[in-house]
Every structure is written in structure tokens, then in C-alpha cells.
Amino acid sequence: MKVLCWMSALPAGVGIALTGLLNSSVSSNTKARLVFWRWHNPLPGSEAFTRHGPSDHRVDMAALAAKHGPLPTDPKGQNVLWYCIFKSVSKEPPVEQAHRHFLFARDFAFMALVMLLLLGVAAAIFVRPISTAEIYVLLLVIQWGIATRAANVGGHRFVTNVLAEHAAA
């Protein structure tokens, strides 16, 4: 009986181990593509001055323009300037906290997708009755949706925290 219980947990254990390995071998751009649903220029800083900054009441866009001249509107230029600004305020507590939160949520969103694929297939093959497997897969889908939303919001907050700190300095 004990061997049978251990054997039934094996697919989930292998799936979780593979998830961790895959997470460490995938680029940050790939993870950003999955979070922000953009193939080109997927990083959140790519919309720093056209979308995120102007929509946040804490960000003084005029102060940023005064410090940096005309702000870029092309996605690559926005991300490059935003990253330079980030490096100048990276040790500020609101920026550090938002950065950590974003990276955690982004990685968890990717791992949730991998878990959905690996563990969802394992559940479809090994879990009976099939209605139990369906409920499990539905819960994995919900987990992935929540994690992706958290990463998306966290990425936007990270960008605006950087802009707000820099504009106020």
C-alpha cells in the first residue's frame, strides 16, 4: 500500500522538478512575453513614457522631460531610457520592493503555465475519475491566470515606481 501511494505521487514530483529546471533555463524576455502578451518589446519599460508614466498620478512627466529632454516614444528607446533611470534609483525601497515582487510574480506565472501543461497532462492520464482531473486542471488554469495578472500589475507598478522616484529626486 505504501509503495502504491509513493508511486502515485511520482508524476507530480517529476513535474514540479521539471518546472523549476525550465524556469531557470528560460530567458526573461520569454517570460515577459507570456506575462504581457507582446512578442516584440515585451518588457514593461517599453511603454514607460507613453502608457505607464502618464497614467500614474505620482509620476511628474514634465520633470522627467526636463531631466532627459524629449522622452522617447518608440518601445525600444523607452525601455533603454527607463532602464538607465532604474539603475539610478534601484536602491530606493519602493523600487527594490516592486522589483522583487515583479520578478517573483513573473517567474511564478511562468512556472504556473509549465505546471498547467505538465501536471495537467499527468492528471488527464493518471487521475480518475476524469471529473477530478478536470477540476484539478481548472484550478491550475485559475492559478496561472491569477499569477499572470499579478505579474502584469507588478511589472507596471515597478515601472511607475522607478519613474516616480526619479522624477521626485
For residue 129, say if its preceding peptide bond is cis, omega within 30 degrees of 0: yes
Tens digits of pLDDT across the chain (169 residues): 455 566 767 766 777 788 788 889 999 999 999 999 999 999 999 999 999 999 999 999 999 999 999 999 999 999 999 999 999 999 999 999 999 999 999 999 999 998 899 889 989 998 999 999 999 999 999 999 999 999 999 999 999 999 999 999 9
- Three-class DSSP category at 91: coil
First to last CA, the chain: 65
In angstroms, the CA 110 to CA 26 distance is 9
116 Cβ contact partners less than 8 Å away, ≥ 6 residues apart: 137, 140, 141, 143, 144
> Taking a C-beta distance cutoff of 8 angstroms, is the pair 53, 157 a contact?
no
Give the predicted TM-score (pTM) of the model.
0.88
In angstroms, the CA 78 to CA 163 distance is 12
Which of 81, 26, 73 lies closest to 51 in space, CA to CA? 73
